[in-house]
Amino acid sequence: MSNTTRNKTAKEIIHEYEIDSSFFLSTPQRTLLTKGIVTKYPDDDLNNGTGQMLEQIRKMLSNAKLQGMNDPIVVGAIPFDYTKSLQLFVPKEVEKLGPLSFVEEIRKEDLSKIKYEMTPVPERKEYGEYVAKALKKITNHELSKIVLARSLHVKADKKIAIHKLIQSLVAQNSNSYTFAVNLPQSGLRERKRTLLGASPELLVSKSGSYVCSNPLAGSAPRSKDPKEDQRRAEQLLHSSKDRYEHKFVVDAVAQTLKPFCTNLEVPTEPSLIQTETMWHLSTEIRGQLANPSTTALELGLALHPTPAVCGAPTNLAKEAIQEIEAFNRDYYSGMVGWSDADGNGEWIVTIRCAEVEDDLLKLYAGAGIVAGSKADSELAETSAKLRTMLLSMGISSEY
């Protein structure tokens, strides 16, 4: 692993991202850029459970050390259903840098000049029908919560400039976790795919014996008018429906982490965090591990998927998602991040994201459905969440 000593601009760092063999993660604290691949997680080893998965990762890192790497890490993305596919690999080169800062003006002309054709999946009216189906399951006590997503399929009139899109995401979402990772090629076309986005949600981080998770649930769209924006924030903070939804997620995360920890600090009240497009209820959970050898990836897999992207009870919510949603989530609502040989690492919930394949993009956004949810409000929430990617593309319209 190498630490960069020469000062580079944010634009230079992002331009070094290689679409077929890189991983990029920019956080408010640090930036991670990898190049090349030493070894990949085997495609034929997906259905042996998390224990086997963690052992395979341990072997990959151990073998990398035997090959002369001083501080190998594993990076990549895990989908919503990780029994189907994984994109995890040990990179050849790793650069650790400080947080990125854009001193130059970010210009979106190159992206906004592109013409796009938008196809909502499902259509807006149909999404309302999906919410009605979910509410019926909640009324019948089959579920307590379910997260229903929708997608926006985008066809551009030219190939998408990945580096410019990453740059725009970082510049507009300085408080989020901006990521990019190459994905396995799809179908017979053998075109390169990139998963990228700017997620506000930390699934879990681990440093030594200390662990942190920052679940988000309960959201409200931002307003350009400062007074209205503040009113929405205050309304969200005191909304019984949103606090109820948020408590589901916090309780689930705390219950999952508790067996791993000697102590766990869980605030009794949520706080507010903001992104460029959304207000969120947030709770930062911190703990000390009973066994410092527990890895960040092990904790991430234990937590994934949280009720913030799935629902409760988890297995029943998963089944209902597969029954109701009109598409395969693939890597949306999965986890993206890194872990090292000592178990330290950082895993992010894969939201506010898109999969990019040449001139095609698939954008994703979801909303948590609980008792009291209304279809129009949930549709508006997904539209606001889609704006993270749309704004980075130079598109101000809502879909």
Question: Looking at the annotation, which residues are catalytic?
Answer: 145, 201
Phi and psi for 177 in degrees, rounded to 5?
-105, 100
Would you state the structure tokens that stand for residue 107, as one six-digit string? 């210009």
Q: How far apart are CA 140 and CA 257, in angstroms?
A: 30
Q: How far apart are CA 180 and CA 18, in angstroms?
A: 10
Q: Is 145 helix (H, G, I), strand (E, B) or coil?
A: strand
Would you state the structure tokens that stand for residue 165, as one six-digit string? 């899109």
User: Based on the number of CB atoms within 10 Å of its own CB, is 256 exposed (0-12), middle (13-18) or buried (19 or more)?
Assistant: middle
The percent of the chain in helix, strand and coil, each rounded to the nearest 5, is 30, 35, 35
| Contact present, 104 and 11 (Cβ < 8 Å) | yes
User: Based on the number of CB atoms within 10 Å of its own CB, is 68 exposed (0-12), middle (13-18) or buried (19 or more)?
Assistant: exposed
HSE (CB half, 13 Å, CA atoms) of 355? 20
Q: How far apart are CA 266 and CA 139, in angstroms?
A: 30
Question: Quick one: angle between helices 375-392 and 124-139, nearest 10?
Answer: 130
Q: Measured between alpha carbons, how far is residue 57 from residues 9, 61, 341 in Å?
A: 33, 6, 9
Sequence-distant (≥ 6) Cβ neighbours of residue 237 within 8 angstroms: 270, 272, 281
